[in-house]
Structure 1
Amino acid sequence: MPIGIYSAQTGMVQAQRTFEKAAESIASGINSYVNPADKYVATGLDTTIRSAKKAIENAQTGYNFTAVADSALGNVSESLQRIRELSIQASNGIYSDSQRAVIQQEINQNVEQIKQTLGQSTFNGKPTINAVTPENPNPAPVTDFMVGTDSTSIISYDPNIALDSLNFDVSTPEAAAASLAQADSMLSDIGSKRGEIGAVQSSLEGAINQQMTNIMSTTASLSDIQDTDYISAITDLKKAQFSMELMAKVMKTVMNSERYVLDLLQ
């Protein structure tokens, strides 16, 4: 049965659509032939990837939060080390009261520096470390870091550290000895807290690595669905191009035939 002009035009339109679709897939690298079921799966995979990326950002923010706390405790340790040295010095019986008063002044300066460091140790307005002392008995709230793609993936960080009084007295050799023991106790407490912070940071790093692995595997699955099958796309492109050329010839032949019939009728 001969092909009419309408059939040829319809075939040309279909071939053009196939050609454009294949060309778009090749140019963009995105598979245009994904069926509805695969599109549903791809949407879920894309959601998982986006959520995992946000979880990584949260975990990294949590790591930065704890890094500020660890840095502050490092500075406090330096000040306490100096107080310890001065306490050892003041324990020596050769010093007069006036000389111990000079040592006391430097100790007081270090105490103020400790208070300033602890007071300024904040991240986004929240305290990263809070010294619970007889002078400051109020604890700060625990901070939770959401490090996964669901509400149960949480790593908690307690910013509180219980310390002895920040009042150091070296007015006598006996008081200086007590000040030395006090500094040692606080240094031990700070060392334990820094170890606790290190454990939290390790957990945060583990969460980051887990989500990165999740992203890589999910991205690979998504690519299997969305990425262009170049061999199939090129084959479709060539078939469409051939069909377009064929339909063009058919249309030309049909039009010439119709024109010939009209000439005869005239």
Structure 2
Amino acid sequence: MQTLLRAVVDYLCGLQPPRSYAHPDQLLQVADYIAQHWESWGYSAKRQLFQAEGQTYQNVIAHYQPEKYPKLIIGAHYDVYDELPGADDNASAVAVLMALSQQLQQQQPELPFGVELVAYCLEEPPFFGSSLMGSAVHARSLNPPTDYFLMICLEMLGYFTDAPHSQAYPLPAMRYLYGHKGNFLAIVGNLQSRTWTQRLAKIFRKNSPVPVRTLWGPENIPGLSLSDHRNYWQIKMPALMLTDTSFLRNPNYHTAYDTPETLDFAKMELITQGLYSTLTKLTL
């Protein structure tokens, strides 16, 4: 699995020019890369096209057990900020999404729900927080939304360290509750998503050696809504973010130093395996 994780990250980070909104041809190439892999594993990949500033962008969508309802959405954005490599942000999460999707097809678990896998475009500025985010387009397209019970957003899943005082928090007092080492996976939700946050964390802890910390609360807590899950909150759907906590831990965030060599591919593999096991044990 680490071979696939590394291959995806290396491919995404090696594109020149980078996969930013300013280079739509590169984003199309990435969408083709994801779709071709999914189709080679037995999925039927769908393109969701949308317009932004006169250019066409696309989300890529695949389904596991497409006949089953309700559905769980698992997604990650594949665009990058500015002219940067974006290994942790967000090639790491795209790699986990793809490795998870491959494992589902290889193992063929019988789940009590369908899984909708989505690779989003345009999460990064200048579109972040706007109706042109790929995840906003996808959320608005759900018809009806009641066919979906939860969204899981994969956001920056590759940077882990046991160095002392390597973890910051949106609220300083949280350091005493969660610890000062940046070696855990965070599962984040809003108040509506509290029960799902707890349930997912409980199952994940039983099936993975990766430490897990949870946070739920009002959406105005700094950092709580800083990815694609925010757009599902807008349609009143429970949605969680799985993350290494981004700039609260990774000093390479949105810099040229966010390269594949800084990622922990062993941890990414454990997270993928833990997420897969969690899906197989999740009940409705």
**TM-score, normalising length from structure 1?**
0.23
Which protein has the larger Cα radius of gyration, Structure 1 or Structure 2?
1
From the two aligned structures, give the one with the greater helix fraction.
Answer: 1
**TM-score, normalising length from structure 2?**
0.22
Higher relative CO (Cα under 8 Å, sequence separation at least 6) belongs to 1
